[in-house]
Amino acid sequence: MRQRHIKQATIENLSSMGVLFEPVYLDLSSYSKVHLEIGAGKGQFITSLAQDFPNELFIAIEMDKNVCYRIAEKKIEMKLDNLLILLTSAETITDWFYPQMIDIIYLNFSDPWPKAKHHKRRLTWPIMLEKYKTVLKQEGILQFRTDHFLFFEDSIDYIKSHFQIVNVNMHVEESRYMTEYEVKKRQLGAIYQVKGIKST
Ligand SMILES: C[S@@+](CC[C@H](N)C(=O)[O-])C[C@H]1O[C@@H](n2cnc3c(N)ncnc32)[C@H](O)[C@@H]1O
């Protein structure tokens, strides 16, 4: 999805705002719980969580520097020392995290890539699920939320061959933790969610 261009969203400015973009293995050992949102957009979901759980670590991955800038603005304004922002693509996660470091991965309103020839670009595609499994702890959780029914159905199929599905919700209730997309999309219809646990 094309994001609006922000003039100040340069690598220099993002770097001075604390955004990381050169892969380096992160030391996460001092945190009791590590949350990772992939494709975090403008960051409303992850920043609200980080604000409410100051003793846990939150990591936002976003590959678009314009929306990444919006997350960084929120981090500074809300003084969130427990939020890391990575300007990178999801494909690189195994270059940032040692195996079994993450407790929960969130995929919120990921691009649905509806055409069959583009399905392999989906963030729920099996190759990506393997990477998520690598960085998740044993019993770690993958949570996927979308408004796109066909994408949801396909994703359940992908997820169930890699994770044990523990919850399917066809009508996610409104909450304090919603992304910018969720706020918009729930005016148009149902929001779906599936949770899988890493059990092998
Ligand atoms: C449809 S938007 C949803 C944004 C946000 N999760 C929300 O719900 O408001 C999808 C976001 O995922 C990001 N994205 C897509 N593919 C990605 C990838 N491979 N790695 C990191 N971010 C990605 C896009 O740049 C975009 O910001």
Residue 154 a catalytic site member: no
Which of 120-124's residues contact partners 24+ apart within 8 Å by CB, and which partners? Answer: 122/151, 122/154, 122/155, 122/158, 123/38, 123/39, 123/90, 124/151, 124/154, 124/155, 124/158, 124/159
Q: Are residues 66 and 9 in contact, defined by beta-carbon separation less than 8 angstroms?
A: yes
Distance CA 147, CA 158 (A): 17
The response to whether residue 43 sits with its C-beta less than 6 Å from ligand 1 reads: no
The response to whether residue 111 sits with its C-beta less than 6 Å from ligand 1 reads: yes
Q: Which of 111, 147, 154, 157 is catalytic?
A: 111
Residue 79 has pLDDT above 60, yes or no: yes
Model confidence pLDDT, tens digit, residues 132-146 = 999 999 999 999 999
- Specify the residue with its C-alpha closest to ligand 1, atom 14: 39
Domains by residue range for the chain, with CATH: 28-197 (3.40.50.150)
What ligand 1 atom has the least distance to the C-alpha of 107? Answer: 6
Q: Which pair of tokens denotes residue 27?
A: 């030391």
- pTM of the full structure: 0.97
Q: What percent of the chain lies above the pLDDT cut of 90? A: 95
